[in-house]
Structure 1
């Protein structure tokens, strides 16, 4: 596989404003330079969109379980359905973005996600709640393929630049439990619909931006050359590695609140402790993006991925054996190391499938995450039988399985 770190992933004659799909008068940037304005705007949009994911509901899961009389496996299905709809739809949405680049999915997605996530408080039954979360997940998924492709163009294929985009989403996902706890304390289930307002405002702003110039995809090589230029086998292995990595934030976000409910954190109320621990893990995971992107640019993405896999399990495992804030700190360290390879994985995926960059990005940000979400129900079933603590300890060792996918890959 050929590395193309110094070659721009766009035609130098293509105007930066049209390729990025943002207002022309704000992005007058030389073709080989990173467009910081576009990356910043996309990162903010990514953060707010991903804040409507299942982690927003994580501190509410025990309350929802009590309200609707749900088992732990049923609670796991809530996260799974939202993750599946957000993730498995992304390859299709990526194809739509590549085929119809002026369809501003980066604006449509946040609107759908916010609107349906705001209906969670009104869901009268388990089945209706599943339906609401399924549609909200599709909205979240709509943003990612096109957003990642535009970010790659704006970042000129840099892992560090792509990390700006990914860290936005990870921060949004990480802050969401705190936001969910705050929203619930102020609004309760009765006025939960008001949580949709930030996403609807964002969608309107993005819609205005994209109405002016659209999301024109730079034309590289014809789609018929995909077999000659692409490497689907390596992309499949990269996707499997991303799937294994995603099991940690998915499983921890769903089931840590139940563990914390039985153990507590000194100085925090039960509800505050649940939100704090999940957010601490997810924010630490988010902050690893720029570090991982920089290290991948300097040392090679495969080396960073191998080190991440080998080091992740041990602080996670130790966190369940040490009390209070020390355990939380180790949990954060494990989450940080686990997500170091994420930005470079998206860049490498787009290099492996250069004529279908939206689809390639959706394999990492969508398909891998959705496939990992399928494991939420089995995790809950295991927790029902052996206890949440033992299940989470076993989950801490799962990243080692990723070695089977990474070892056959090569930097070049």
Structure 2
């Protein structure tokens, strides 16, 4: 639930853009600069926070970063200065970035490495992202940008939830006789690099479809703007189901086997989205969503087990950098669509899950290791 209260601010920035354009007459370039400030800052600094939390215990970072993420978005609508608006949004991005590596560590510790539990933790972030447009519309559409401080309310609730969770985890660790203060094992950087490459492939596909799927469905399935909205909803809804299913499937069949199956499914599903006409496209959108989201939480636990001495860095990369890097491909997809057609631009996306599967095929299942608790001494390895 705390994760949802943080990631709502990732989606809120994009949801605020139409209101910035309407009330402040920002150009499209200026508005996109605001989104870029939040996205780039967050994705770049997230591994840095992961490195910090690997060296020093920073449990207080969870409630503080949650409040920081909310304050940045909440104050963005108060000032008329473009520079200050960008600065506030960037501050929110830093808060979101600071949260994820330590939160992934605490979630791992609280669940004792459970794949199913990590999938529920990841689902919280998905719920927050999807809820963001509704929250922004409820506040800003009624009160205008000057009402943006009300958007801080979820951050206050999220900070309180983080504080409660930290207290419970620390209390359990103090009475757990099997607790180990130091993680043993060696970091497997080659495997982690291959995993990160696969995540980038998955990210490009998801970002590309999120940006252009509504337009493509309107062109090839009919139904106007409603059809595009429905397709996007199916993509997100299937993501929520896939995130939860991933943990349960991994418990039964193994993480890498499930991840490879998912990437293979994504190749066929994306091909169906691109080439199958008519209403059947919604089925392939749902299958694509499952293929992209079933491995989402498994990426995190695999990354942490490949880097047992740097689980903060692993969380920062798998939850942040490798996921956000896919956004850099959006301008290229748009340029291809302008030069040729939207179908021509989306067709190359079929090859990316195949490349991800190729990177994953030689990986071996890492041995899950006991994670240090939030009260443990961090080591750089």
TM-score (norm. length: structure 2): 0.79
Match of 1:316 in 2: 270
The reply to whether residue 302 of structure 1 matches residue 260 of structure 2 is: no
* Pair 316,151 (structure 1): closer, same or farther in 2 beyond 3 Å: same
Q: How far 1:147 sits from its partner (Å)?
A: 0.9
5+ unaligned residues in a row in structure 2: which ranges?
Answer: 174-178, 367-381
Match of 1:219 in 2: 181
**Cα RMSD between the aligned structures?**
3.5
Tell me if structure 2 keeps the 8 A contact 1:49–1:172.
Answer: yes
The reply to whether residue 105 of structure 1 matches residue 61 of structure 2 is: yes
Match of 1:69 in 2: 27
Following superposition of structure 1 onto structure 2, how do residues 339-358 of structure 1 map, counting pairs within 5 Å?
339-358=293-312
* Pair 380,203 (structure 1): closer, same or farther in 2 beyond 3 Å: farther
Tell me if structure 2 keeps the 8 A contact 1:59–1:257.
Answer: no
C-alpha separation between the residues in 1 aligned to 2:40 and 2:157?
26
C-alpha separation between the residues in 2 aligned to 1:61 and 1:336?
29
C-alpha separation between the residues in 2 aligned to 1:393 and 1:324?
17
SS at match of 1:118: helix
Identify which of 95, 99, 112 aligns with 2:51.
95
Match of 1:289 in 2: 243
* Pair 192,265 (structure 1): closer, same or farther in 2 beyond 3 Å: farther
Match of 2:320 in 1: 366
The reply to whether residue 114 of structure 1 matches residue 70 of structure 2 is: yes
Q: How far 1:45 sits from its partner (Å)?
A: 0.8
Match of 2:372 in 1: none
C-alpha separation between the residues in 2 aligned to 1:235 and 1:374?
21
Q: How far 1:165 sits from its partner (Å)?
A: 0.9
Match of 2:152 in 1: 196
Match of 2:4 in 1: 47
Tell me if structure 2 keeps the 8 A contact 1:80–1:373.
Answer: no
C-alpha separation between the residues in 1 aligned to 2:255 and 2:282?
28
* Pair 75,402 (structure 1): closer, same or farther in 2 beyond 3 Å: farther
Structure 1 or 2: more helix by fraction: 2
C-alpha separation between the residues in 1 aligned to 2:46 and 2:207?
18
C-alpha separation between the residues in 2 aligned to 1:127 and 1:383?
32
5+ unaligned residues in a row in structure 1: which ranges?
Answer: 1-43
Q: How far 1:403 sits from its partner (Å)?
A: 2.5
The reply to whether residue 330 of structure 1 matches residue 287 of structure 2 is: no
Tell me if structure 2 keeps the 8 A contact 1:159–1:343.
Answer: yes
Tell me if structure 2 keeps the 8 A contact 1:235–1:349.
Answer: yes
Following superposition of structure 1 onto structure 2, how do residues 3-402 of structure 1 map, counting pairs within 5 Å?
44-53=1-10, 55-58=11-14, 61=17, 67-70=25-28, 78-121=34-77, 130-207=86-163, 210=166, 219-221=181-183, 229-256=186-213, 266=223, 270=225, 277-319=231-273, 326-386=280-340, 390-402=344-356
* Pair 161,103 (structure 1): closer, same or farther in 2 beyond 3 Å: closer
TM-score (norm. length: structure 1): 0.73
How many pairs are equivalent? 358
* Pair 235,108 (structure 1): closer, same or farther in 2 beyond 3 Å: same
